[in-house]
């Protein structure tokens, strides 16, 4: 699949805001990555509004049927909020319920761990990345505890690289373990395709290719 307009726009926006950087970055796994995307840097009103539009485009593109959007605490909370705001506006005009979880259970007021709409039906989880899949497993537990069904997961970027043990990526492991699609606004392949189109990323693109040969799925 070639790169789509909204994906190209997302990459340009991420580079401009220094959310996507090229160079040398040490990951938690110890690997030296030639690029890094830190979605936590979408940290102003304007950038959060924009990222919501990219997530909404990816939700629409994914074809994942869902009744509600769930944002896992903490990073997923603003992402879920901005996504449903964007979905409510043109061209989608789709008023979608959303909720998120508290990390701490409240014992006063309305109580419970879910804030927002009731967590029921088919649930689309929105988060920034899947690295080890731990956060998604926690979300699945919350969804199952509420007798709802996981419909799929949407993240900002799929690094398309193998996990610590074996030949599958963390995203592929989640797809295998839960039998649902995991989609991303962009993948490593999209980023490389964008770099090729621009023709100005010679050395960085060469590093990306080397990295993909070594760790790619």
* Catalytically annotated residues: 106, 108
If one counts every other C-beta atom within 10 angstroms of the C-beta of residue 95, the result is 8
Distances 74 to 116, 118, 162 between C-alpha atoms, Å: 14, 18, 26
If one counts every other C-beta atom within 10 angstroms of the C-beta of residue 67, the result is 16
Q: CB–CB of 80/70 below 8 Å?
A: yes
Q: Strands, E, within 27-170: which ranges?
A: 32-37, 68-71, 98-106, 112-116, 122-126, 149-158
If one counts every other C-beta atom within 10 angstroms of the C-beta of residue 151, the result is 21
- Please list, in sequence order, all residues whose beta carbon lies within 8 angstroms of the beta carbon of residue 191, skipping any fewer than 6 positions away: 11, 20, 35, 157, 208
């Amino acid at each position: 699949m070639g790169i789509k307009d909204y994906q190209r726009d997302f990459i340009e926006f991420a580079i401009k805001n220094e959310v996507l950087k090229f160079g040398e970055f040490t990951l938690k796994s110890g690997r030296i990555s030639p690029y890094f995307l830190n979605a936590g840097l979408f940290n102003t009103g304007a950038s959060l509004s924009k990222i919501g539009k990219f997530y909404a485009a990816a939700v629409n593109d994914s074809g994942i049927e869902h009744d509600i959007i769930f944002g896992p605490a903490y990073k997923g909370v603003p992402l879920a909020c901005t996504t449903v705001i964007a979905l409510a506006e043109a061209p989608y005009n789709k008023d979608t319920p959303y909720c998120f979880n508290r990390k701490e259970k409240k014992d006063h007021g309305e109580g419970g761990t879910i804030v927002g709409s009731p967590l029921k039906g088919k649930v689309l989880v929105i988060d920034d990345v899947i690295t080890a899949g731990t956060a998604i497993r926690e979300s699945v537990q919350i969804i199952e505890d509420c007798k709802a069904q996981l419909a799929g997961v949407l993240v900002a970027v799929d690094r398309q690289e193998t996990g610590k043990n074996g030949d599958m990526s963390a995203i592929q492991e989640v797809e295998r373990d839960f039998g649902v699609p995991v989609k991303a606004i962009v993948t490593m392949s999209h980023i490389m395709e964008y770099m090729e189109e621009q023709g100005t990323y010679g050395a960085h693109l060469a590093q990306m290719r080397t990295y993909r040969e070594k760790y790619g799925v």
